[in-house]
Amino acid sequence: MQTRIDVNGGKDNAIVVGAGHVGIACAHYLERDGFNVTVIDQGAIGGGCSRANCGLLSPSHVLPLTTPDALWSGITSLLTPGAAFRFKPQLRWSLYRWMFQFVRRCTHRRMLAAGHVLKPLLDASSREYTALFGDPAIDCDARDSGTLYVFRTQKALDDYASTDRLLREHFGLGARRIEGAELPVFDAALRTGLAGGYYYDIDRHLRPDRLNASWSRHLRERGVTFMERTRLYAIDKSGAQIAGLVTSQGRLTADRYVFATGAWSGQLAKDLGVDIPIEPGKGYSVTMSQPAVMPAHPMLFPEAHVAVTPFSDGYRIGSMMEFVGFDASIPGHRIRKLEAAAAPYLEYPTGPAIEDTWSGWRPMTWDSLPVIGRVPGLSNALLATGHNMLGMTLAPVTGKLVADLVAERPTDLPIDALSPARFA
């Protein structure tokens, strides 16, 4: 079977592979530019890592994972049973190469350099979200509640003070420091006796599954086609172009192809002829009905590596980073660990009923930067992937950049640092 995605008032056609936050955002901006867009996904819309993440829009999150102390805290975690970070030895050379490249980047200088690439992307994405939320069709429980970082021990609070200073000096990001005694006044869900916190009022949060549902519905109404359970098997090339996609629903062709395939992107490397060193970084979340006292703000507990997010109709705890390949299991002890991690901070750390337990694979790059740009050697193909822990936050700017690149519009964003060619 051959399907030509085609003939819609003479418009050019684009196929986006992957219907996560990033693929949906790419479809949004391409449709706005007049493309006739089809989005395909091997599963359901928003069924990958974009389904039940923590829902934080974090323009404050400028520092990459590659910090000078990441190596030490990684080693400590490996020696601590039940730690948030876990690594399973695997017979894959690409994983050890990834780790080596990651460790090489854990210097102060390279951390700041990555932060300076992320900052304008985060700011631009935040502006795009503001515009998107102005559209009544987007119904995703979005709220401007900031993010509160909470610390149990004075040492951890004092240590964070140097990060706060660095964020102020290098990125102009000011947080409000909240002393321990003031915390339960600031948010009644918090226990007494905590050391203190830092509050970033520029952050927002939303319910990710509702974002996917309302955004894709809105795009459908604008003529975008979504093909669920349509798996990309192979990419047909003809010279310096993609000629078509071989999928479980037959052959699909278009003028432009965007690969927003998240943690799976590395599997396309051979077909696309480009190195895409992306590893799946597995995380978990548990979604519950609302606890007796709901946090008024999303919170991060950095000592426990856990985040809690309040929704109007629920409450979520999420965390963990496991390099265990594409292992889809959700062990009960990892979920109990999440719940236990929130207990020292919150009067009511859990809600009465568990509604959902979930795991997702973050698309992890070794330099903590996304991969957005043209595929070298293929004039009609672009990659939009590798968003690490920030895929929801960075989705709109990614979609906008993809549309700008396709239209050859100039951008003042640091696009070279995101290029797929950087791994060559």
Ligand X SMILES: Cc1cc2nc3c(=O)[nH]c(=O)nc-3n(C[C@H](O)[C@H](O)[C@H](O)COP(=O)(O)OP(=O)(O)OC[C@H]3O[C@@H](n4cnc5c(N)ncnc54)[C@H](O)[C@@H]3O)c2cc1C
Whether the CB-CB separation of 149 and 190 falls below 8 Å is answered with no
Q: Could you say which of 13, 16, 23, 219 contacts ligand X (CB under 6 A)?
A: 23
| In the complex, minimum distance from the CB of residue 268 to ligand X, in angstroms, rounded to a whole number | 7
Residues 6+ apart with CB under 8 A from 170: 112, 115, 116
Minimum CB distance to ligand X smaller for 28 or for 180: 28
Beta strands 36-40 and 13-17: pairing type?
parallel
Number of residues that bind ligand X (CB under 6 A): 40
| In the complex, minimum distance from the CB of residue 410 to ligand X, in angstroms, rounded to a whole number | 25
Residues 6+ apart with CB under 8 A from 83: 76, 77, 305
Residue 191 CB burial class (10 angstroms; 0-12, 13-18, ≥19): middle
Residue 145 binding ligand X, by CB under 6 A: no
Minimum CB distance to ligand X smaller for 61 or for 180: 61
Whether the CB-CB separation of 346 and 189 falls below 8 Å is answered with yes
Residue 288 binding ligand X, by CB under 6 A: no
CA distances from 161 to 156, 299, 330, 355 (A): 9, 17, 35, 37
Residue 19 binding ligand X, by CB under 6 A: yes
* Site map 38..77 versus ligand X, x via CB under 6 A: --xxxx---xxxx--xxxx---------------------
- With contacts defined by CB under 6 A, name the span among 15-23, 156-164, 181-189, 329-337 that binds ligand X: 15-23
Residues 6+ apart with CB under 8 A from 293: 188, 189, 347, 348
Interface with ligand X in residues 372-401 (CB under 6 A): 385, 387, 389-393
CA dihedral defined by 26, 31, 37, 38, rounded to 10 degrees?
60
Whether the CB-CB separation of 307 and 298 falls below 8 Å is answered with yes
- For residue 30 the two structure tokens come to 């391409």
Whether the CB-CB separation of 128 and 204 falls below 8 Å is answered with no
- For residue 28 the two structure tokens come to 């949004």
C-alpha closest to that of 111 among 121, 102, 123 = 102
Q: Could you say which of 92, 104, 231, 409 contacts ligand X (CB under 6 A)?
A: 231
Q: Could you say which of 5, 14, 21, 141 contacts ligand X (CB under 6 A)?
A: 21
Residue 363 binding ligand X, by CB under 6 A: yes
| In the complex, minimum distance from the CB of residue 231 to ligand X, in angstroms, rounded to a whole number | 4
**What do you get for the CA distance between the two ends of the chain, in Å?**
36
Residue 362 binding ligand X, by CB under 6 A: yes
Residue 334 binding ligand X, by CB under 6 A: no
Residue 22 binding ligand X, by CB under 6 A: yes
Minimum CB distance to ligand X smaller for 249 or for 380: 249
Minimum CB distance to ligand X smaller for 260 or for 403: 260
Residue 318 binding ligand X, by CB under 6 A: yes
> How far apart are the C-alpha atoms of 202 and 194, rounded to whole Å?
23
Half-sphere exposure at residue 262, Cβ-oriented, CA atoms within 13 angstroms = 29
Residue 147 binding ligand X, by CB under 6 A: no
Residue 216 binding ligand X, by CB under 6 A: no
Residue 262 binding ligand X, by CB under 6 A: yes
- With contacts defined by CB under 6 A, name the span among 95-103, 145-153, 345-353, 356-364 that binds ligand X: 356-364
Interface with ligand X in residues 110-129 (CB under 6 A): none
Q: Could you say which of 115, 146, 277, 283 contacts ligand X (CB under 6 A)?
A: 283
| In the complex, minimum distance from the CB of residue 412 to ligand X, in angstroms, rounded to a whole number | 23
| In the complex, minimum distance from the CB of residue 205 to ligand X, in angstroms, rounded to a whole number | 7
Q: Which residues pair with 364 in a beta bridge?
A: 279
| In the complex, minimum distance from the CB of residue 145 to ligand X, in angstroms, rounded to a whole number | 13
> How far apart are the C-alpha atoms of 27 and 33, rounded to whole Å?
10
Whether the CB-CB separation of 402 and 32 falls below 8 Å is answered with no
Minimum CB distance to ligand X smaller for 180 or for 388: 388
Residues 6+ apart with CB under 8 A from 268: 232, 235, 259, 261, 276
Q: Could you say which of 15, 16, 18, 145 contacts ligand X (CB under 6 A)?
A: 18
Site of interaction with ligand X (CB under 6 A): 17-23, 40-43, 47-50, 53-56, 231-232, 260-264, 283-285, 318, 360, 362-363, 385, 387, 389-393
